[in-house]
């Protein structure tokens, strides 16, 4: 089993590096990394990681800018990432951090780091320990920011 990491030169934080660090921290799975220019290049990178480099799961990371055109690119990339999964029967965990989610660069850095690390753990759980996710079903998990938590009865 191998984990694929796809990231971009467009992002303003080295998301791939954080992902690799987290993977090493939590397990000994090998990984492949594939860096592309922008988020719209991620779908085919994810597909190649799965089909040409035998990854069992991919974490696809990007940081869409704040302009409407950036939002649209992210939307197109997201659709592509869903298609990849359906063509390969393999999970591709999308980790997008929108620049305008955050108040300033400090928060952007924190949210990015947290979201990448949490989703790397989700990816590892999906392939090694799916029951762990089942235990968290419906608990309002969020990645990057605080969990919202479940609705209390």
Task: Give whichever of 26 and 82 is closer to a second copy, judged by the CB atom.
Answer: 82
3-class secondary-structure state, position 100: helix
Q: Minimal distance in Å, beta carbon 140 to a second copy?
A: 4
Q: Minimal distance in Å, beta carbon 50 to a second copy?
A: 10
Task: Give whichever of 29 and 102 is closer to a second copy, judged by the CB atom.
Answer: 102
Q: Could you tell me whether strands 92-96 and 31-36 are parallel, antiparallel, or unpaired per DSSP bridges?
A: unpaired
Task: Give whichever of 28 and 135 is closer to a second copy, judged by the CB atom.
Answer: 135
Q: How far apart are CA 18 and CA 117, in angstroms?
A: 7
Q: How far apart are CA 35 and CA 72, in angstroms?
A: 21
Q: Minimal distance in Å, beta carbon 60 to a second copy?
A: 11
């Amino acid at each position: 089993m191998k984990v694929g990491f796809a990231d971009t030169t467009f992002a303003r934080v080295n998301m791939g590096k954080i992902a690799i660090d987290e993977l090493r921290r939590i397990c000994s799975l090998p990984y492949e990394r594939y860096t592309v220019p922008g988020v719209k290049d991620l779908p085919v990178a994810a597909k190649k990681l799965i089909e040409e480099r035998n990854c069992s799961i991919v974490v696809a990371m990007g940081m869409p800018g704040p302009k409407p055109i950036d939002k649209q690119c992210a939307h197109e990339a997201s659709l592509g990432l869903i298609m990849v999964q359906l063509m390969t029967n393999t999970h591709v965990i999308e980790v997008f951090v929108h620049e305008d989610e955050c108040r300033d660069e400090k928060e952007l850095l924190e949210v990015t780091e947290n979201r990448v690390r949490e989703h790397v753990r989700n990816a590892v759980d999906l392939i090694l320990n799916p029951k762990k996710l089942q235990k968290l079903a419906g608990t309002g998990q969020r990645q990057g920011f605080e969990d919202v938590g479940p609705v209390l009865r």
